[in-house]
Structure 1
Amino acid sequence: MHHTPADDSVNPSRLPFPGLHRRGFLAAAGGMAGLGALALAGCSGSGTSDDAGNSGGKPRRGGRLRAAFAGGGASETLDPHLANLFADAARAKALFDKLADYGADLSAVPRLASSWEPNAGLDRWTVRLRKATFHNGKPVTARDVLYSYRRIADPAQAFRAKASLEPIDLKASRAVDDRTVSFVLKRPTAEFPNLLAAFGAYIVPEGAHDFDHRPVGSGPFRFVSFTPGRSAVFRRNDDYWDGAPHLDELEFVVANEESARINSLLGGQVEYAHELTPTTARAHEGKGQIEIVRLRNSAMQGFAMKTDRAPFDDKRVREAFFLIADRKELVDGALSGAGEIGNDLFGKGYQYYADGLPQRAQDLDRARHLLKKAGADGLKVTLDTSAVAAGFTEAAAIFRDQAAKAGVKVKVAMGSKDSYWQDTLDSGTLSCYRSGAMPIESHFSQRLLTNSTTNATKWRHKDFDALYRQAQSTKNTQDRAAVYARMQRQLYAEGGFLVWGFADWILGTARTVRGVAHRAPANTLDWARFDKVWFA
């Protein structure tokens, strides 16, 4: 199965989200297709692990790590601006750098940028670059940054980060000197650093356009070879600004089927297997052959209710559906227990998450009462689902049975894997939904504003839009968090996303592998960060 690394709700023609377009996941997976929060790290085998996934011992240099990912076939490319699958993202991370990336709580942390500072109006930001060099020995400069962003913004191209960089006026932005960029924005943007960390916003050398023969980046590994759909081999960059990797070499191996990835890991053909199922994890966790790593809260799981059409244009019906859901049963059944329950809000454990709201529990009597008040006795509704993402068909069947206990008849309709995400953006009334990791602010801007292009719930409220603009014009982080909390309280009370759970993202490694981060949702800085990995 192919997974996009960010959010399953986007397709190539309607790019915003880190969205994910799935061929078969975060997005984060469904990825991230895809793509958590970091609560406790999970790991099998003997010994204890810290947050970095280290089982003790000093990092050692040497060796080639072979990592198995689902790939994209002969059309694969090393162009970092075209990255769409997890394999693309992992390869891009090895060869290139962004100005910033997302930490475990989805807040932006500096990478090639050493600092950023706004003006009073939050519509101009000064970004200073750290001292870093490309693999050809040339320094990374402000001109490279502006070239990269202007390339991404090319209207003739479908580069993934284009929508994320939209708030920047790239014609007015300029290089102040070799290591200082003055970014002019079209409107106040308090969360500007999130743009720098956007999925696919990699910095390439000025003038670069051919990335499949001998790509030059500033990342921890240098290019050796690449065969699309099969493998890519990279070698340690001893001059990397963040310290040379421990590994001598890194090889990405394409294995589209999960069975092929786990069998290669068990057989010693690879030392790292990306995207394993809960069933596989349970079968091997603690057995001593391999290590299982669980990245908590990596993928939101839920149902999207269209708030602009019957029956979900009545907020009483939406509240009733919130109360119909038995979240633990959904997590246990649809995710095989590999996750935790949700509370109808995106981003559990992420920066700005409203964790003080009461945890919703199933209340069928209250649900029936609300439906009766709404004149929806004997309600019949179609729930769209698909085999496009793991657990979708199971979740639909479980919720159908839960709804029946409240007198609601749910008809489950199977959709095409190829067109599911596009279809559910505009059609139907109720659908299975998931999303990978992204900042909560990005979730608001890409899915919940009146003009958002992936507004799967058709949530259109001028007061909500105004609160978002207020947040983006608020410089003080604490004050801004208070505005985000108001927005989340409104969604909790009457929103269209029934968020019933957050799935673990599961990896497998050989027992000799150390340094794999255990608190890194897919699409964040420490996910697939092979420069910090070593062999014991």
Structure 2
Amino acid sequence: MNDARSSLARRSFLIATGATALAFTAACGTGTTTPDAKNAAAGTPKQGGRLRAAFAGGGASETLDPHAANLFVDAARAKALFDKLADFGADLAAVPRLAEKWEPNEALDTWRITLRKAAFHDGKPVTAEDILYSYRRIADPKGTFRAKASLEPIDLDASRAIDASTVEFKLKRPYAEFPNILAAFGAYIVPKDASAFDKPIGSGPFSFVSFKPGSSLVVKRNDAYWEGAPHLDELEFVVASEESARVSALLGGQVEYAHELDPATARTHEGKGKIDIVRLPGSAMQGFVMKTDRPPFNDPRVRQAFFLIADRKELVDGALSGAGEVGNDLFGKGYEYYPAGLPQRTQDLDKARALLKEAGAEGLKVTLDTAPAATGFVEAAGIFKEQAAKAGITVEVKVGNKDTYWKDILSSGTFASYRSGAMPIESHISQRLLTGSTTNATKWQQKDFDDLYQQAQSTRDATQRGALYERMQRRLYDEGGFLIWGFADWIIATAPKVHGVSKQAPANTLDWARFDKIWLA
């Protein structure tokens, strides 16, 4: 068996470890964060103190039920109190957490999970029955938990506890990337029969002290945590929904950590000495969706022309204030399975005009749906409008309702602004690019593409599976419906005395919001 981090999490694309890469162990400190230069200079981590972290919140209806997590603050609080079987490394490969190892059968439709020795905050051990209870709770048809869709491939009725530390999951079909399910957003493990979460008991690095919805959660160090006790004595999550309030609280000393800053705000304060800016690369894909099932984008030549119209650097500089890097019309730059060898696409207006002429689409007029639903959306739409005009295309920018935007663009319109947070490339494909995908915004519906995906999930050899992912992505690069112009940094800010914050982990990955690894100097 191979160490999960060394054999999977550091590959740029093709995997050279053969069939045994499907069995993993969690040795050698899996999941720890390498200190950056600032933290190394600070010396040995200091024990003690309370860190106050400001996040945007969800109001008085907030809950500590980890299966109901939707917002970043929900995910950060759940990570402090609970554990998952696995989580995602910086390149979005799954790495073990409560699972010590996982092994598939030959057909890839049964996976056996061996649990590490871990305990809940009340001292009771985490067992296979807790795992099955948690997953069945998430998957309950009467529930509305976000992770339900991720668990769909599991036949939970047929899955069973082999013994207290071993779970056997039966799947409805072969699934080589099954560990992605174990790491899914919201797939936290709770004690068997847990239903009330006003004073939650988890197995995470911190245990519950007090909670006021829409205001504050206080937790304290769990000295018995399986990966080692946190450095901090206490951690307080403070709700400050406006970015200006989070920054003001940080500058005024009311908090030591502020989540989610705008690029312009970060640029204003960076290097001034009062606060430290931390940029988490590759946290959000930025682009446009073209509906491939309707004119004018049902013609691949029009889609290819739009790929060539985009000046990606101008979009990153203008819409993201330079806080990111250019994209190449494929999701997941830097993630596991990303085909980094494909040529970087650049603006070529002459070729774009030639493709439009060949498609009979000269003088094309198209509506671009956007909304202030994410950073840079409206700005990027305006920039692309000017770029398209140089190719003879008239783009009408239509600004919609930010509260209903994502639902509105899923099926309506032809061309729209789009963003995605970090997830494995396999999850992006399965959730957004298969004929039956529920969030298929580009309406990419190709049976041969679906067949390639199913072939990949039935392929045990990792190198062969990687080659299939490359074929799928080359197809999308040539004629897909995602015009991906950039990857935005996620920006946080801390007081100078805060150390141990990872600078490599995209938002929603293992080392993001790892408050158990942070200390105060």
Where in structure 2 are the equivalents of 1:123-272 lying within 5 Å?
123-212=109-198, 214-272=199-257
- Partners of 1:206 and 1:51 lie apart in 2 by 43
Q: Is 2:479 the counterpart of 1:485?
A: no
Give the direction of change, closer, same or farther, for the CA distance of 1:53–1:478 in structure 2 (3 Å limit).
Answer: farther
* Aligned mates of 2:254, 2:431 — CA distance in 1: 41
Q: Does structure 1 conserve the Cα–Cα contact (< 8 Å) formed by 2:35 and 2:500?
A: no
Letter in 1 for 2:467: A
Query: 1:52–1:518: 8 Å Cα contact kept in structure 2?
Result: no
- The whole-number CA distance in structure 2 between the counterparts of 1:172 and 1:152 is 16
Deviations 1:370-402 (A, max 9, x none): 000000011000000001111000000000000
| CA deviations over 1:296-338 (Å, ceiling 9, x no partner) | 1110000000000000000000000000000000000000000
Deviation of 1:361 after TM superposition, in Å, equals 0.5
Match of 2:344 among 359, 380, 391: 359
The equivalent of 2:7 in structure 1 is none
Q: Does 1:441 align with 2:457?
A: no
* 1:56 Cα deviation from its structure 2 partner: 3.5
SS state at 2:146 partner: coil
Matched residue, 1:388: 373
User: What 5-or-longer segments of structure 2 have no aligned partner?
Assistant: 1-33
Pairing 1:304–2:289 present: yes
Q: 5+ unaligned residues in a row in structure 1: which ranges?
A: 1-47
The structure 2 residue matched to 1:407, chosen from 384, 392, 399, is: 392
1:459 is aligned to 444
SS in 2 for 1:456: coil
**Paired position in structure 1 for 2:309:** 324
Q: What percentage of aligned pairs have identical amino acids?
A: 75
Q: What is residue 30 of structure 1 aligned with on the other side?
A: none
The residue number in structure 2 matching 1:502 is: 487
SS at match of 2:279: strand
**RMSD between superposed Cα atoms in Å:** 1.0
Q: Deviations over 1:259-316 (max 9, x none)?
A: 0001100110000000011111111111111110000111000000000000000000
Cα-to-partner distance string for 1:485-535 (whole Å, 9 max, x where unaligned) = 000000000000000000000000010000011111011000001000001
Distance 1:53 1:500, change over 3 A: farther
Distance 1:101 1:276 in 2: 25
Kept in 2, the 8 Å contact 1:122–1:475? The answer is: yes
Runs of 4+ in 1 over 2 A off after TM superposition: 51-56
Q: Which residue of the other structure, out of 497, 503, 513, is the alignment partner of 1:512? A: 497
Cα deviations by residue, 1:76-128 (Å, 9 ceiling, x for unpaired): 00000000000000000000000000000000000000000000000000000
Contact 1:291–1:511, Cα closer than 8 Å, also in 2: yes
CA distance in 2, matches of 1:55, 1:428: 53
Report the Cα distance in structure 1 between the residues aligned to 2:38 and 2:444, rounded to whole angstroms. 39
1:226 to 1:501, Cα distance in 2 relative to 1, 3 A: same
How far apart, CA to CA, are the structure 1 residues paired with 2:333 and 2:408? 27
> What is the CA–CA distance in structure 2 between the aligned matches of 1:492 and 1:273, rounded to whole Å?
37
With over 3 angstroms needed to count, the CA separation of the structure-2 counterparts of 1:450 and 1:55, relative to structure 1, is: farther
Give the Å deviation of 1:52. Answer: 9.3
**Secondary structure at 1:233's aligned position in 2?**
strand
Quickly say closer, same or farther: Cα 1:309–1:53, change in 2 above 3 A: farther
How many angstroms apart in 2 are the aligned matches of 1:503 and 1:390? 9
1:71 maps to 57
TM-score normalized by the length of structure 2: 0.93
User: Does 2:97 correspond to 1:111?
Assistant: yes
The secondary structure found in structure 2 opposite 1:87 is helix
Q: Distance in 2 between matches of 1:177 and 1:284?
A: 54
Q: Secondary structure at the match of 2:214?
A: coil
Structure 2 letter corresponding to 1:198 = A
TM-superposed deviation, 1:53? 5.4
1:16 match: none
- In 1, the alpha carbon distance for the partners of 2:100 and 2:336 equals 21
Once residues 481 and 220 of structure 2 are traced to their aligned partners in structure 1, the CA distance between those partners, rounded to angstroms, is 47
| SS of residue paired to 2:147 | coil
Which amino acid counterpart does residue 191 of structure 1 have in structure 2?
Answer: E
Q: Is the 8 A contact 1:53 1:517 kept in 2?
A: no
Q: Which residue of 2 aligns with 1:62?
A: 48
Q: Structure 2: how far apart are the matches of 1:163 and 1:380?
A: 37
Deviation at 1:55, TM superposition (A): 4.0
Matched, 1:524 2:509: yes
TM-score (norm 1): 0.90
The one-letter code sitting in structure 1 at the alignment partner of 2:156 is: L
AA aligned opposite 2:102 = W
The count of aligned residue pairs is 488
What residue identity is the alignment partner of 1:143? E
1:376 to 361, 373, 391: 361
Q: SS at the partner of 2:395? A: strand
In structure 2, the residue corresponding to 1:161 is in which secondary structure? helix
Secondary structure at 2:248 match in 1? helix
Which residue is 1:534 aligned to? 519
SS of 1:375's equivalent in the other structure is coil
- Following TM superposition, by how much is the alpha carbon of 1:211 offset from its aligned partner in structure 2, in angstroms? 0.5
List per-residue Cα deviations over 1:322-381 (Å, max 9, x = no partner): 000000000000000000000000000000001110000000000000000000011000
